[in-house]
Amino acid sequence: MRVSVTVKRSNGEKFNVEAELDSTVLAFKEELEQTTQVAPALQRLIYKGK
């Protein structure tokens, strides 16, 4: 099952990314890389401020 995740960059830009519900963090970051052109090693995910 795929879900839509809203991502907000530190510069305020927002976009949606489709991801598998059971995907790993690395797999999600790799999906983000296709949209943001930012390597997974340089990404930092924050959920509800944590």
pLDDT in tens, 14-38: 989 999 999 999 999 999 999 899 9
46 domain-assigned = no
- Residues of the domain holding 10: 2-36
pTM over 0.95? The answer is no
10 domain-assigned = yes
- Number of structural domains the chain divides into: 1
Give dist(CA 26, CA 28) in Å, integer: 5
Q: What's the chain's average pLDDT?
A: 92
49 domain-assigned = no
Above 80 in pLDDT, residue 39?
Answer: yes
